[in-house]
Structure 1
């Protein structure tokens, strides 16, 4: 767990602080990400030959030698990957300290006591049930009314209601989910009410003295929670953010005054925000194989269109109809070319371009492995901005993980308790 005066990042100690503040840690991450932008900004699918290849031929050879099992292993163990490539990218030696977070979650036995029993978890997937239990256990005790933000059917709401003697309410915009959630609550005698409410509505009123919580609210939804809750002087705000790229803005706009005013602050596009939550999705082997084949086809068509147009630029192709999944490479290219208005010669070596797609796919896998190293640093860059903002609004903040990554990669928890009725002047921060 990190509170305002705790953390661990290289070269971040300032003044008499024993360890870096949230803002100092954000500065360290910002500078580190900026210095390594050449590795994470180019999208491998669109950029076959990023500049770092020419500067690090040894790294290219090492990546090329990785077999599928090694690719999968290092993708799941980024700190080990950072250690292995530090020979070619010295800044990777700082990776463990920059991304280190302590656990907020209590012992497993305490989490088990809070998690709903399976018999009570109707319509609640097992993984979601476990996530709700881990999140709830990490924010106990609950000392007042609770508001579950974007609560869906109320999986977390029901979990919290059994740990809270004060009123528990949920906000959800989907009327069908509201109806289902209230029906489940009544069936199991859970004392809560889910309200049909668009949390983005300008006229939204924050319930008096409510502790705002959110488990995996996406993008603008969790940022609205932070802004509305702090503006309403909520006594406590606890949330696990998700899907940072789900925003109406083309680029990320920092929340904290100090971050906004930093002269060298990164500007992240919506697509770069997506990288922070880009994970491999578990699916049946047949589905995974189909996805790989279609990616190879898309890359083969990309290589073909560059050659035919004489322009070495990526040409976006829309989502394809599912019927093409059961066809072949030539049929996919015919469809894609028609969509982009690209004439195809009568005679093409389809085997050559299909193999080129397979070659590009192997290359993309290795470039993506390297790019994936920056998922957690980018996510922490964003979440540290939230922490600094909440401090500026008069909150004491702790930041850590509420469960293991195996349960959910989106395991960060920001827990902010109001300690001041007057927002702090950000210029007074050390």
Structure 2
């Protein structure tokens, strides 16, 4: 059965179904392949592990691009995975793009221009006054300006971005004013009535708008959430009473929350090559450090300085060992560990295929918590997608209006 989520009752049922489904499959997606070379599911489903690890690179590419095809193939081992499609069904809120013309989209990357235009189109009629939350240079505010009933304000903590954004607005005559404001400041003053809009405000930033916007009874909140793991809390803190009291899904650490936003649009080939090389180096060092320490456990290593990018695997290993207080034996065969890193990177990519089937369900679970909270605060909530995933995978729109 497809659950549309068009009403409060349906939304609560959707969240409950997702919560149970994610909890039932937690052992498949909570262990991170990067840090867990042999997750328990490989023993429970040896045929599944053999299938995934036997895929060619071309087959991995195809499954990464078509998750539904992968679901169909994996259902032989995991029959209940077929419920995924119905759980993710959402209304399409997209309209005709309101993107700024390229001639006016100065300092605005092309994909961001189109995302802002799609977000603006999905909001339809705007309330007054409009506040662009965590606005950067005010690209969204400038996109909304021709369709807003009055002047717009934007909040941004970086004074340099505020100055650049105000200069852009003045240059093109946009009725937009950006203000330097730390929205996480507990002493921040709040306007009594705004239409708060936030396009990809990360983690605690969009949750702050949801909580405090509701507390101050703002008439409308329109939010595309992003980066749920960027929070001050070590573990996920639900907003809604329903989720706090009824959830089965536990152990949502920052690292687990990161899974919800792991999917990205295709990166340039150069960036993909750099990312792959970095993964191989880190996985090679991980295998090495387990051997040297005599302890089969993951050892987190901080991001390496860019100067090491061209220095090679050996330099990276010595840098990483020093950072972790280790001394590598002088006879260490680094080519052996580099080869193991390549093997592990291939395995990780294939194990990630299974884990990534749970990215969108987890993301929707998190956004449904926000939606249920706003309903508990007296809002009527619309939840759907504002653009295709190829434009941005973070395409969920939470549009809440305070009930009169």
Number of residue pairs aligned between Structure 1 and Structure 2: 402
* Counterpart among 144, 158, 162 of residue 178 in structure 1: 162
Q: Say if 2:24 is the partner of 1:68.
A: no
User: Does structure 1 conserve the Cα–Cα contact (< 8 Å) formed by 2:198 and 2:222?
Assistant: yes
Query: What's 1:132 paired with?
Result: 116
Residue matched to 2:14 = 25
Change (3 A) 1:159 1:290: closer
Relative to structure 1, is the Cα distance of residues 46 and 142 closer, same or farther in structure 2, using a 3 angstrom cutoff?
same
Q: Which deviations, in whole Å up to 9, do the C-alpha atoms of 1:157-198 show, x marking residues without a partner? A: 011111012232111111111111111111111112211111
Alignment of 1:87 onto 2:89: no
Q: Is the counterpart of residue 400 in structure 1 residue 402 in structure 2? A: no
* 2:48 match: 59
Q: Corresponding residue for 1:169?
A: 153
Map 1:15-414 → 2, pairs under 5 A: 21-106=10-95, 110-111=96-97, 114-262=98-246, 264-280=248-264, 282-414=266-398
Task: Find the residue that maps to 1:32 and give its secondary structure.
Answer: helix
Change in CA separation of 1:329 and 1:182 when aligned onto 2, cut-off 3 Å? closer
Q: In 2, Cα distance between the equivalents of 1:143 and 1:180?
A: 26
SS at match of 1:342: coil
Residues 255-296 of structure 1: per-residue CA shift (max 9 Å, x gap): 001111115342411111111001246444344223322321
For residue 5 of structure 1, what is the aligned residue in structure 2? 7
In the TM superposition, what whole-angstrom CA distance separates every residue of 1:18-74 from its partner, at most 9, and x where no partner exists? Answer: xx5212211111111111111111111111000000111111121122222221221
Q: Give 5+ residue unaligned stretches, structure 2.
A: none
Aligned equivalents of 2:245 and 2:193: distance in 1?
Answer: 31
Shift of 1:2: 5.2
Q: Partners in 1 of 2:304 and 2:195 — Cα distance? A: 45
For the residues of structure 2 that align with 1:78 and 1:183, how far apart are their CA atoms? Answer: 44
Structure 1 residue matching 2:103: 3-state secondary structure:
helix
Cα distance, 1:335 vs structure 2:
2.7
- Residue aligned with 1:147, SS: strand
1:4 and 1:282 mapped to 2: Cα distance? 32
Q: Which residue in 2 is equivalent to 1:423?
A: none
Root-mean-square deviation (CA, aligned residues, Å) is 1.8
SS at match of 2:400: strand
**C-alpha spacing 1:180/1:349, structure 2 compared with 1 (3 Å):** closer
SS class of match (1:276): helix
